[in-house]
Structure 1
Amino acid sequence: MTYPVHFRKKILAKLEQGMTFQEAAAKFELSPTTIQRWKKKLEPKTTHDYKPRKLHDDLILQDVKDYPHDFQYQRAIRLNCSKSGIQKALKRLGIAQKKK
C-alpha cells in the first residue's frame, strides 16, 4: 500500500524548510531512499507495465471451450504452466466457473 500524496507533500515541504533526508526519515519512520524517490516523482504508480508472458488469451479461451469442466490444475498440466498462472489468466478474462 502506498502513502497518500498529501503525506508525501508534507514531508517534501519539511525538506524545503531545511530538514535533511536523514532527519525526515527518522521523524516519519521512512527510508531516506523513499523520500528521494518521492522528490523525483511525487505521484504513486497505479498500474503495472507488463503483459502476461506465458499464457495467451486465445489459448486459455480455446482450452475453456474444449474442456469446460476441467479443474485449474488440469489446465495447468495441459498448458505447461502453474495453477496460479491459470487462475490469473481466467480472472483477467473474466471467466468464473462454478463446479456442479
Structure 2
Amino acid sequence: MIIIKLPPLKLTRYYIELAPYFMMYTNLMTYPLKFRQHVLAIKEKLTYAKTASRFGVGMASLMRWNRRITPCTTHNKPATKIDMEALAQDVATYPDDYQYERAQRFGVSAQGIRHALKRLRVSRKKNTSASQS
C-alpha cells in the first residue's frame, strides 16, 4: 500500500467566498456579475493567463468581460419569421398536410415549421387514417 501525503489545502478568502460558483456553473451557463467583478479585480494584479487558470475560465471570456462586464441577456432577433397565428390557422384549415407543404406555403424550411409547431404544442398525426375534416 502506497500512501501519498499531499500538502494542506490553502483556503484563502476568495476561494471560500466563490466556492459555490465553481461548483454550480458550467460552460452552458453564464457566470454571475459578482463573480465577474471579482475575477476582473484579481486580473488587475495578474496576467490574463494566470487569472484564467486560477479561476478556471477561458482567456477569451476574461477579455470579453474586460470589454463588457454585464452578460448579454437578449438578442435583437425575432424567434422566428413564421407568423404563429397564421400557422395555427393553417393547421386548422389543412390538418392533413405534410410539414413540407406548410413550409412551401410559408416560404420557410420544413425544419422551421417543425420547430414552430413544437412551440405551438401541435404534434404530428399518429394514426394512418384520414381525419374527419
Q: Normalising to structure 1: TM-score of the pair?
A: 0.68
- Equivalent residue, structure 1, for 2:83: 56
Q: Which runs of 5+ in 1 are unaligned?
A: none
The reply on whether 1:83 has 2:83 as its aligned counterpart is no
Superposition deviation, residue 12 in structure 1 = 1.4
Structure 2 Cα separation of the partners of residues 2 and 42 of structure 1: 15
Greater relative contact order, per chain length (Cα 8 Å cut-off, separation 6+): 1
Q: Name the stretch that deviates more: 74-83 or 37-46.
A: 37-46
- Equivalent residue, structure 1, for 2:7: none
How is 1:1-100 mapped onto 2 (pairs within 5 angstroms)? 1-5=28-32, 6-16=34-44, 18-27=45-54, 28=56, 30-31=58-59, 33-52=60-79, 54-92=81-119, 94-99=120-125, 100=127
More helix by share: 1
Q: Normalising to structure 2: TM-score of the pair?
A: 0.55
Bigger radius of gyration:
2
- Equivalences, count: 97
Q: Which consecutive segments of 4 or more residues in structure 1 shift more than 6 A?
A: none
Q: Name the stretch that deviates more: 53-62 or 75-84.
A: 53-62
Percent of paired sites with the same residue: 34
State the Cα RMSD in Å: 2.6
